[in-house]
Amino acid sequence: MRRKLDVTEGEFTLLRNRFGRLIAGTAASAMLFAVAACGGDDTEAAPSGAPAASSSAPAAASAKVGLAYDIGGRGDQSFNDSAAAGLDKAKAELGVEVNELEAANGETDAQKEERLRLLATGGFNPIIAVGFAYSGAITKVAKEFPEIKFAIVDDAAEGANISNLVFAEEQGSFLVGVAAALKSTKNSVGFVGGVDVPLIHKFEAGFEAGAKAVKPDIKLQKKYLTQPPDFSGFGDPAKGKTAAEGMFDAGADVVYQAAGGSGAGVFEAAKAAGGMAIGVDSDQAKTADPTVADVIITSMLKKVDVAVFDFIKNFTANTVKPGITVYDLKAGGVDYSITGGKIDDIKAQIDEFKNKVISGEITVPTGA
């Protein structure tokens, strides 16, 4: 009898988990459709959305741009969305035709290759892959289609027809580290990283160096939300909130998040604790939920949109160069934001550091 009860419980848990995931999946899809239905297809977030521009754009630039997203796709309010913004801008200003494909959770390299190949055989040129996960796939597929131009964001995969759009995240993070240290009255700041991977280590290293450049004795708390291959740390606000709450409780008053979608939870925690937060990738004082946006003193801008737009623009002008393009502070690829006027008083000091980084007087560590 006991045994039987045991089994039924096990089975129930199993089914509930399975169905919970299904229901969540279905609900999410339904919401996605609702958004698509209400918002039209591509009007959202086109930065300089001139609706007439696409029709009046020169017909010469009729490139078909294919873009493959990393996990999360359009709508993650962060990394992928930034790429999407660049794509939308290219569509509006250059009149190019675009198509976007999304990655699924837990897929193999073969599926990523297939996605790029599908774009290549579908007549898309150029093709942009967003995220280092496409590293192996793009190397292979670019070889098969030498006449097509490929670009990959955040990775240095080599190929005669691959352009690498990489960023000096540590330099931007350095500046917000400076801002955090200057704004901290308790001499204690925090860093929340999404997933413990080398890419996010660059954010951490830059932030730490920036904070210590101002106050060498500052206390720094660090926390990564998940360990690979669990990449949920980039999309779990609850985890972000718990981590940030712990930091505020332990005396921090400014927390920098490099955790993608989990950052929303960090902002909530900052709001509840009366602390300050620093956003990442996009100007989050503008993109975050308005109820918490006032805790965001600045954001580390990683201008994936600029990189994507530049690449497409170069393509239409026939000036694409293979190899690495580093979007650093000097090139304006990374920066800090001033929306909200929370750091106007210390802007001069931050800019002083900014000039030192640009001139090479300060070399920011990359954590590698």
Partner 1 sequence: MSPQTPDTFVNRLLGRIKLNGLMALAAPVLAILFAGVITSVVLILTDHPPVDTLLAMVEYGSTPRSLVGIINLASAYYLSAMAVALGFRMNLFNIGVDGQYRLAALIAAAVGGAVTLPKPLHIGLILIVAVAVGAAWAGIAGVLKARRGVSEVISTIMLNTIATGLGAWLLAQWAVPVAGSNNIGTNPIPESGHVPSIPLIPGAPNEVFGLFVVAVLVGIGFHVLLNRTRFGFNLRSTGLSEPAAVASGVDVKKMVIVAMLISGGMAGLVGMPQLLGSSYSYSLDFPPGFGFTGIAIALIGRNNPIGVAFGALLWSFLDVSQNILSLEKVSPEIVTIMQGVIVLAVVIAYELVHRYRIAAEQRRVSRELSAPVGMEGAAA
Residue (103 or 189) nearer to partner 1, CB: 103
Q: How far is the CB of 141 from partner 1 (least distance, A)?
A: 12
Q: How far is the CB of 181 from partner 1 (least distance, A)?
A: 27
6 sits near partner 1 (criterion: CB under 8 A): yes
Q: Looking at 98, 128, 130, 197, which residue binds partner 1 (CB under 8 A)?
A: 197
Q: Which of residues 205-234 bind partner 1 (CB under 8 A)?
A: 226-230
Q: How far is the CB of 85 from partner 1 (least distance, A)?
A: 19
Q: How far is the CB of 350 from partner 1 (least distance, A)?
A: 27
Q: Looking at 13, 43, 62, 355, which residue binds partner 1 (CB under 8 A)?
A: 13
Please state the three-class secondary structure of the chain as a single string.
Answer: CHHHHHHHHHHHHHHHHHHHHHHHHHHHHHHHHHHHHHHCCCCCCCCCCCCCHHHHCCHHHCCEEEEEEEECCCCCCCHHHHHHHHHHHHHHHHCCEEEEEEECCCCCHHHHHHHHHHHHHCCCECEEEECHHHHHHHHHHHHHCCCCCEEEECCCCCCCCEEEEEECHHHHHHHHHHHHHHHCCCCEEEEEEEECCHHHHHHHHHHHHHHHHHCCCCEEEEEEEECCCCHHHHCCHHHHHHHHHHHHHCCCCEEEEECHHHHHHHHHHHHHHCCEEEEEECCHHHHCCCCCHHHEEEEEEECHHHHHHHHHHHHHCCCCCCEEEEECCCCCCEEECCCCCCCHHHHHHHHHHHHHHHHCCCCCCCCC
Per-residue string for binding with partner 1, 98-137, x by CB under 8 A?
A: -xxxx-xxxxxxxx--xx-xxx--x---------xx-xx-
HSE toward the beta carbon, residue 234, CA cutoff 13 A: 23
Q: How far is the CB of 171 from partner 1 (least distance, A)?
A: 16
Of 155, 157, 187, 192, the C-alpha closest to 173 is 192
Size of residue set near partner 1 by CB under 8 A: 57
Q: How far is the CB of 297 from partner 1 (least distance, A)?
A: 28
Which residues, at least 6 apart from 23, have a Cβ–Cβ distance to it below 8 Å? Answer: none
Per-residue string for binding with partner 1, 18-57, x by CB under 8 A?
A: x---x--xx-xx--xx--xx---x----------------
251 sits near partner 1 (criterion: CB under 8 A): no
Q: Which of residues 74-103 bind partner 1 (CB under 8 A)?
A: 99-102
Residue (120 or 209) nearer to partner 1, CB: 120
Residue (2 or 48) nearer to partner 1, CB: 2
Adjacent-strand bridge partners of 301: 281, 335
Q: How far is the CB of 304 from partner 1 (least distance, A)?
A: 14
Per-residue string for binding with partner 1, 130-169, x by CB under 8 A?
A: --xx-xx-----------------xxxxx-----------
Q: How far is the CB of 288 from partner 1 (least distance, A)?
A: 25
Residue (196 or 294) nearer to partner 1, CB: 196
Give the residues lining the site for partner 1 (CB under 8 A): 3, 6-11, 13-14, 18, 22, 25-26, 28-29, 32-33, 36-37, 41, 99-102, 104-111, 114-115, 117-119, 122, 132-133, 135-136, 154-158, 196-199, 226-230, 368
